[in-house]
Amino acid sequence: MAKERLGILASGRGSNFQAIMENIELNVLENVDAGVLITDNPEARALEVADHYGVPHQTIEPGERDKEEYEKEIHEILREHDVSLVILAGFMRIVSPYLIENYDKKMMNIHPALLPAFKGLNAQKKALEYGVKITGCTVHYVSKEVDSGPIIVQQAVPVKEGDTVGSLSRRILVFEHRVYSKAIQLHADDKLTVRGRKVKVDADESWKEDWKRREKGFIEHQEKALEEGKVVREIK
């Protein structure tokens, strides 16, 4: 099977991108590598992550161009790097149909809520204000409507008494860092079939066991940092 080559689009902190790179380094993710990071923000921490892991990167700002022109440049770069799967990881722009059509079922996003609840920005704040007792995170294929594509993986996370947006966001982020890689591995292993809104996951018991065993390596790595109070790990 050809290696799944990721093209990551990120605007800021890049902790999901970092977790994916850690999962590659720890051999949790198999048959997956990162081809390029594209950011729209020259100040993005994600650039430091890319440098650390030796992932080529490009900073592309839209400037005065219209969206399609901007995305044509992004597309060109993704092609130059042989990207087979686009990963939106905190990319703060709405992707237009141009790019979505070019990466139909080959573009994923992570959202910090249990979709279809709390779409759009500030999902954790919306969940708190609504008073839900359980929220979480969702990895989905990207479709033309924002945060509405077919759902691949979801993870529930409890809301606790006294939570702030910060504490809830951190609790969710721990699981974002796990489930994004799981969704990528399922895709890379050809375990996902999309029919309309539904994603059929064809992972048998042996796949699940194998994933659990490998994922343990990442969880241990994550827990070490969590003991020091770090959900976003230092880049080292």
User: φ and ψ at 74, to 5 degrees?
Assistant: -60, -45
Query: What is the C-alpha to C-alpha distance for residues 110 and 174, in angstroms, rounded to an integer?
Result: 13
Query: Among residues 57, 75, 81, 111, which one is catalytic?
Result: 111
DSSP designation for 12 = S
Q: Would residue 221 show up in a list of annotated catalytic residues for this protein?
A: no
Choose the stretch contacting ligand GRF; rule: CB under 6 A; options: 10-18, 75-83, 145-153, 190-198: 10-18
Closer residue to ligand GRF (CB): 145 or 204: 145
By beta carbon distance, the residue nearest ligand GRF is 90
Task: Provide the 3-class DSSP secondary structure of residue 87.
Answer: strand
Compare residues 173 and 199 and give the one whose CB is closer to ligand GRF: 173
Among 14, 35, 136, 149, binds ligand GRF (CB under 6 A): 14
Pull the structure tokens for residue 113. 């809520």
Q: Rule CB under 6 A: is residue 7 a binding residue for ligand GRF?
A: no
Q: Do 48 and 38 contact (CB within 8 A), yes or no?
A: no
State the pairing for strand pair 4-10/32-39.
parallel
Catalytic (active-site) positions: 111
Binding site for ligand GRF (CB under 6 A): 10, 12-16, 89-90, 110-112, 173, 176
